[in-house]
Amino acid sequence: MKIDRVWAMPNKHTFDIKPIRELIIEEIPPGITIDPFANKQKLASITNDLDPQYNTDHHLEALDFLKIFETESVDCALFDPPYTPRQLSECYKKLGRSVTFQDTDASYWSNLKKELSRIVKPGGIVISFGWNSGGVGKVNGFKITRIRLVPHGGVHNDTICVIDKKVQSKL
C-alpha cells in the first residue's frame, strides 16, 4: 500500500483541492466512472447530485442512483459524501428537506458501500474521501492500495483519500 501526505488549503469542493484532483486524475481508470455526490464536479462519466442546481446526469438519492447500475458494470466510483450528519443536514436544509435517523444511521453508509461493491467490476476501484480511512472495506471484497492524507492546517480536519481495489466479489 502506498501512503503519501500532501499539504493543501481546505475547500468545500473536495475535487478543487489540487493534490486531491491530481490523485483522481492519476488513479481513475479508463471505462465507466460514476459519482453519486458530484456537486459541481465533472470528473466522472456519469454524475449524480440530489441538488437540481448542479448540471449532473441524475438528481437522485445516492443509494437510488447506485441501484440503477448493473452488477459489476462500473470501472470506478468517486465516493465523496457529506462527511458528517451536520454537513448532510446543511445539504438537505438547502433543498427544503429534513434529515431523518435513517439518513444519519451507520446502516445508510454501509448500504451505500454494499451497492458500490455490487456494481464495481473485479479489478475496479473506488476512490473515497472523508475524515477516516475505512474505504469500502475488506468485508465488501476490497483492498486498500493507496492512501493520500491531505492536511489543511490549523483547526481544519485533514481529508483522507482512499483508493480501494475490488479484489473479489463480496465475501
* pLDDT tens string 3-22: 888 888 888 889 999 999 99
pLDDT beyond 80 at 97: no
pLDDT per position as a tens digit, 130-161: 988 989 999 999 999 999 999 998 888 899 99
Rounded to the nearest 10°, the torsion over CA 16, 167, 124, 165 is 10
pLDDT beyond 70 at 103: no
Q: Is residue 131 part of a domain?
A: yes
Running DSSP on this structure, what letter comes out for residue 86?
Answer: H
Q: Is residue 45 part of a domain?
A: yes
Q: How many other C-beta atoms are found inside a 10 Å radius of the C-beta of residue 93?
A: 11
Q: Is residue 97 part of a domain?
A: yes
pLDDT beyond 80 at 64: yes
Helix (H, G, I), strand (E, B) or coil at 85: helix
Number of compact structural domains in the chain: 1
Q: Is residue 77 part of a domain?
A: yes
Predicted confidence at residue 101, as pLDDT, reads 66
Provide the domain limits for residue 106: 21-147+159-166
For the whole model, what pTM was predicted? Answer: 0.90
Q: Is residue 116 part of a domain?
A: yes
Predicted confidence at residue 136, as pLDDT, reads 94
Q: Is residue 171 part of a domain?
A: no
pLDDT beyond 60 at 170: no
Q: Span 58-77, mean pLDDT?
A: 97
Q: Is residue 14 part of a domain?
A: no
pLDDT beyond 80 at 104: no
Q: Is residue 12 part of a domain?
A: no
Q: Span 73-100, mean pLDDT?
A: 80
Helix (H, G, I), strand (E, B) or coil at 132: coil
The enclosing domain of 126 has a CATH number of 3.40.50.150
Beta strand residue intervals within 53-150, DSSP E:
74-79, 120-130, 142-150
